[in-house]
Amino acid sequence: MPDDVMNLSINGQSQIPPGFRFHPTEEELLHYYLRKKVAYEKIDLDVIREVDLNKLEPWDIQ
- The DSSP output letter for 6 is H
Least confident of 1-5, 27-31, 45-49, 56-60: 1-5
Q: Are strands 13-14 and 9-10 parallel, antiparallel or unpaired?
A: antiparallel
**Position with higher pLDDT, 9 vs 57:** 57
pLDDT in tens, 4-40: 444 555 555 667 778 878 888 999 888 888 898 899 8
pTM for the complete prediction?
A: 0.47
Domain ranges of the chain: 3-49
- How many alpha carbons fall within 13 Å on the CB side of residue 15? 9
